[in-house]
Chain A
Amino acid sequence: MQRYSALGLLTQGLRHHENWQRVWRNPTPKKHYDVIVVGGGGHGLATAYYLAKLHGVTNVAVVEKGYLGGGNTGRNTTIVRSNYLWDEAAHLYEHAMKLWEGLSQDLNYNVMFSQRGVLNLGHTLQDMRDIQRRVNANRLNGIDSEVLDTQQVQELVPIMDCSPNTRYPILGGSWQPRAGVARHDAVAWGYARAADALGVDLLQQTEVTDLIVEQGTVKGVSTARYGDLYAERVGCVVAGNSGVLAKMAGFNLPLESHPLQALVSEPIKPILDTVVMSNHVHGYVSQSDKGDLVIGAGIDSYNGYGQRGSFPTIEHTLQAIIELFPIFSRVRMNRQWGGIVDTCPDACPIISKTPVRNLFFNCGWGTGGFKATTGSGHVFAASLAKGEMHPLAEPFSMFRFHTGALVDEHGAAGVAH
């Protein structure tokens, strides 16, 4: 792998950028792999990378039906934070946060991780009580988190309307300084490049048409393009299509797929240097390095696979943003799109063994998967390498919906659902 460096950039620049290596190979698949990862999004690529890097399992294929990072990895609003309420979730997301902090160096790829802080606003007394509870829980788990009052919020974000005359006055908020944003595409590309360099085969345009299961044990996957590929273990990281794959293996998952929309505005000069989220008026906004405002809110209520959303949701989102930032009222929106998120009843993921031996699933991240890309890949790789779930992944078993041991983050975390 060609290492990226300032000197390299300069030398290549002098040669008119004509001699850069291809970032990853386009390999012909082998017939047999140690591990096949189905799904070439951020989580799947991270899984493959950590398998090769930390566990020495390099005979790995990532099978992707479209192109790498072409699903929700390239469609989200790029917020990274770890201020979750419950211990199980907080440990998992904080694990991810620690990996984010060294990721660019680790991958030798600039993922533009910018720890500009995330502000979760409170608009009612109950909001503020929940925020205090969550901040205390975060601090007990070693996660940086503070409660801010209206004055401190105003100092952080001078352009926000913090006056008492608004429909939902801002009473304060929680603040996680280490949180921030990252460049979503770069995360997928960085992991793909690093995994490829360690020998992982990245098979794009390769749709899995069936899982090969014999006597309760998975043996591999059937693909439209390359026929049957065999593997000792198979890990499925396919977000919105998890239910479809689970059905191929003969079991159900408690997931529902919903469209989640996001929009970006025309690029404007730097005006917002942090991430502002509000669950009460329901919207969140940050400004990308390119200058456009990146805006999102909750999922569309109904199930859907259409990768587009409904207009009432956009209207609702923008009402919330204008409520907070009257200054944005005449900014024009450039693009709007929808991704399909697989939501779990308790708003926590499934990282789990399945009723089929050697088949593992990592799904159900719902609206908050991007922030966990690093940690999710890390613990899933450990689980696939050893055949036993990583301790951080254990509470997220798919069997919790029968035992009742849910990790109920719905409405408890600073989650904008």
Chain B
Amino acid sequence: MLHIHCPHCGEHREEDEFHYKGQAHIARPLDPESCTDEQWGDYLYFRDNPRGLHREVWFHSAGCRKFFNVVRDTQTYEIHESYLIGTQPAGSGTPDSDSTEVQAS
């Protein structure tokens, strides 16, 4: 059972209160019409799948119903930190070069 800290509620809660929403920091192309098939396919379908630290979006579906980001180790399942959408993690997790923030929906 993961214990996830919701930065909105300021509390650790059990994982069944949350929904996992996939990789964080994915920038939607500013002008989708001008994307090549390759760029659009990459945006839609290609995700990081690291064995190790992973930055991901979680949704507090049975709580405040807000989104936030988490840095979690996909091997040990240890959660390093939770942080708000639109910010970068404080310590762990290497920032992406293309990390324009986009609110997941």
Residues on A facing B (Cβ under 8 Å): 243-244, 252-257, 301-306, 310-312, 345, 401-404
Contact B45 A254 (CB under 8 A): yes
Residues on B facing A (Cβ under 8 Å): 1-2, 14-16, 19-20, 22, 37-38, 41-42, 44-47, 49, 51, 54, 56, 72, 74-77
Contact A310 B2 (CB under 8 A): yes
Q: A306-B76, A310-B15 are in contact. Are A301 and B20 (CB under 8 A)?
A: yes
Summarize B's interface: helix, strand, loop or mixed. mixed
Contact B56 A303 (CB under 8 A): yes
Contact A254 B46 (CB under 8 A): yes
- Residues of B within 8 Å of A244, CB to CB, are 51
Contact A306 B16 (CB under 8 A): no
Contact A404 B16 (CB under 8 A): no
Q: Measured between alpha carbons, how far is A312 from B46 in the docked complex, in Å?
A: 28
Q: Measured between alpha carbons, how far is A222 from B37 in the docked complex, in Å?
A: 34
- Residues of B within 8 Å of A304, CB to CB, are 74-75, 77
- Residues of A within 8 Å of B42, CB to CB, are 252, 402
Residue of B with least CB distance to A255: B49
Chain B's nearest CB lies how many Å from the CB of A298?
A: 12
| Contact partner, A306, options B44, B49, B56, B77, Cβ 8 Å | B77
| For the complex of A and B, 9 pairs with smallest distance between CB atoms | A402-B41, A301-B20, A254-B45, A312-B16, A302-B20, A243-B49, A401-B45, A345-B45, A401-B41
Q: Measured between alpha carbons, how far is A303 from B42 in the docked complex, in Å?
A: 19
- Residues of B within 8 Å of A302, CB to CB, are 2, 20, 56, 72
Q: Measured between alpha carbons, how far is A306 from B2 in the docked complex, in Å?
A: 13
27 contacts between A and B (CB under 8 A): A253-B46, A254-B47, A255-B49, A256-B22, A257-B74, A301-B19, A302-B2, A302-B20, A302-B72, A303-B54, A303-B56, A304-B74, A305-B74, A306-B77, A311-B1, A312-B1, A312-B14, A312-B15, A312-B16, A345-B44, A401-B45, A401-B46, A402-B37, A402-B38, A403-B37, A403-B41, A404-B41
Q: Measured between alpha carbons, how far is A213 from B95 in the docked complex, in Å?
A: 29
Contact A303 B46 (CB under 8 A): no
Q: Measured between alpha carbons, how far is A306 from B51 in the docked complex, in Å?
A: 9
- Residues of B within 8 Å of A257, CB to CB, are 49, 51, 74
- Residues of A within 8 Å of B2, CB to CB, are 302, 310
Summarize A's interface: helix, strand, loop or mixed. loop
Chain B's nearest CB lies how many Å from the CB of A158?
A: 34
| Contact partner, A303, options B37, B41, B49, Cβ 8 Å | B49
Chain B's nearest CB lies how many Å from the CB of A297?
A: 15
Residue of B with least CB distance to A246: B49
Chain A's nearest CB lies how many Å from the CB of B25?
A: 15
- Residues of B within 8 Å of A256, CB to CB, are 22, 47, 49
Q: Measured between alpha carbons, how far is A401 from B47 in the docked complex, in Å?
A: 12
- Residues of B within 8 Å of A253, CB to CB, are 46, 49
Question: Given contacts A253-B49, A302-B20, A305-B74, could you give 10 more A-B pairs where the C-beta distance is less than 8 Å?
Answer: A244-B51, A256-B47, A256-B49, A301-B20, A302-B56, A306-B77, A345-B44, A401-B41, A402-B41, A404-B41
Residue of B with least CB distance to A312: B16
Contact B1 A310 (CB under 8 A): yes
- Residues of B within 8 Å of A311, CB to CB, are 1
Chain A's nearest CB lies how many Å from the CB of B67?
A: 15
Q: Measured between alpha carbons, how far is A180 from B75 in the docked complex, in Å?
A: 34
Q: Measured between alpha carbons, how far is A253 from B22 in the docked complex, in Å?
A: 16
Chain A's nearest CB lies how many Å from the CB of B38?
A: 5
Chain B's nearest CB lies how many Å from the CB of A311?
A: 5
- Residues of A within 8 Å of B54, CB to CB, are 303
Residue of A with least CB distance to B14: A312
Chain B's nearest CB lies how many Å from the CB of A254?
A: 4
Contact A305 B37 (CB under 8 A): no
Residue of B with least CB distance to A399: B41
Chain B's nearest CB lies how many Å from the CB of A111?
A: 32
- Residues of B within 8 Å of A310, CB to CB, are 1-2, 15
Q: Select the residue from B37, B38, B74 with max chain A CB neighbours within 10 A.
A: B74
Q: Measured between alpha carbons, how far is A255 from B14 in the docked complex, in Å?
A: 27
